[in-house]
Amino acid sequence: MQNLLGKLNTRQLEFPAQLIVQKGAISTSEFLSSQISSRRVLLAIDDGVRELAKANLPHLHNSNSIIYSVTAADFDNVRQIDMLCAQKHIETVVAFGGGKVLDVCKRVATIRKFELIVVPTALSSDCISSPVAVIFDEQGKKLSLPAAIPNFIVVDTELCTKAPERLTQAGVGDLLSNYSALLDMDYAKGRANFDGFSYLLAKSAANEILNMEHKPLTDLTTITQLAEGLILSGLAMGFSGDSRPCSGAEHLISHALDYLQLGTGLHGEQVALGTKYCHFLREQLDLPTLDPRVLNTIERLKIKSTPAALGISKEEFFKALLIAPQMRRDRITFLESLEQIPVEILEKAYVNAFEAL
């Protein structure tokens, strides 16, 4: 009885208090444009969006605010913002920019209490609402660390249509990789906790992009669906308490590329590459594979997702593949049996994924 009652308990989840995804969201948000201008605000940006921040958030360029330019997603920037928040008694941090700025601020929010508002200017990954921050250590290695969920998310879809296309393509890649991660959740069923809610959320998130009409990536409808999908994806990880619903074997390959510091790919591109390879390897192993529309969408939107396009040689790819299962030892994915898979099968999957016409 005790056990059953335990299972029937509802769970407490951290959730952003407010979300706005719309065209002109910044100027129409009463909260952003007037209310917080009377508070002590730290506006975190990166140099690339300095002018954009001035034009979109003029209220935050007053004497009550401090503007901090995030130079890198590293511990030094985390420390600097944390120190400024303490010295200046900051009440609200507004993170305006791409993944680098958002990740640093989300990480600081785990150490210090303030209200965190994120305003992404590009949709390159599901970091907007996820409880994970990617921070580089002193050796330049990428670490995925726990992060606070923002209190307020404002996505100005019009602003995001103007982001470099490659960033938007990467965002689609990260979202579509959910399908590959979900295959691994299915694979691990019975051996790892299967959280149906986070599974459902991660799937619905990716469906946003798979079922969309074929419009360009700068189209407002596409950007809105991508933003909604990425935000749902981040929340799926929040529900799960880990990144499993959005991070399976394909992410392990990407983590291995990061670990070995190979290539020039963005996170979303690397996981799209991983998604393709895992699909063809699963096919060779007679495991369930992806809906062909997933691969078609990666191709149609021209997401860089081959080793050659990301500056990785075939040999380097296999070097990363071989250490991929060690990147998250507690994560059960179909790559757990990698050592038993004959080299010819691994090669065949590579040819089918990246070399076949």
Q: Which residues bind Zn ion (CB under 5 A)?
A: 174
Shortest Å distance, C-beta 75 to Zn ion = 21
For residue 251, which amino acid is it?
Answer: H
Question: Nearer to Zn ion by C-beta: 114 or 244?
Answer: 244
Question: Nearer to Zn ion by C-beta: 156 or 174?
Answer: 174
Closest CA to 95 of 149, 142, 169: 149
Asked whether the beta carbons of 149 and 14 are under 8 A apart, the reply is: yes
Question: Nearer to Zn ion by C-beta: 174 or 242?
Answer: 174
Question: Nearer to Zn ion by C-beta: 29 or 144?
Answer: 144
**Per-residue b or e along 32-65, where b marks 16 or more CB atoms closer than 10 Å to that residue's CB:** bbeebbeeebbbbbbeebeeebeebbebbeeeeb
Cβ-based neighbours of 46, under 8 Å, separated by 6 or more? 69, 70, 71, 97, 98, 100, 101
- Rounded to an integer, what distance in angstroms lies between the CA atom of residue 88 and that of residue 86? 6
DSSP alpha helix (H) spans, the chain: 2-8, 25-28, 30-33, 50-56, 75-87, 99-111, 157-161, 165-187, 196-210, 220-240, 249-259, 267-284, 292-300, 314-323, 343-350
Shortest Å distance, C-beta 147 to Zn ion = 13
Shortest Å distance, C-beta 132 to Zn ion = 8
Two tokens, residue 222: 């596409």
Give the residue at shortest CB distance from Zn ion. Answer: 174
Question: Nearer to Zn ion by C-beta: 150 or 245?
Answer: 245
Question: Nearer to Zn ion by C-beta: 45 or 263?
Answer: 263
Cβ atoms within 10 Å, residue 300: 11
Question: Nearer to Zn ion by C-beta: 174 or 228?
Answer: 174
Shortest Å distance, C-beta 265 to Zn ion = 12
Shortest Å distance, C-beta 144 to Zn ion = 9
Question: What does DSSP say about strands 41-45 and 92-97: parallel, antiparallel, or unpaired?
Answer: parallel
Closest CA to 153 of 323, 290, 31: 31
- Rounded to an integer, what distance in angstroms lies between the CA atom of residue 276 and that of residue 350? 9
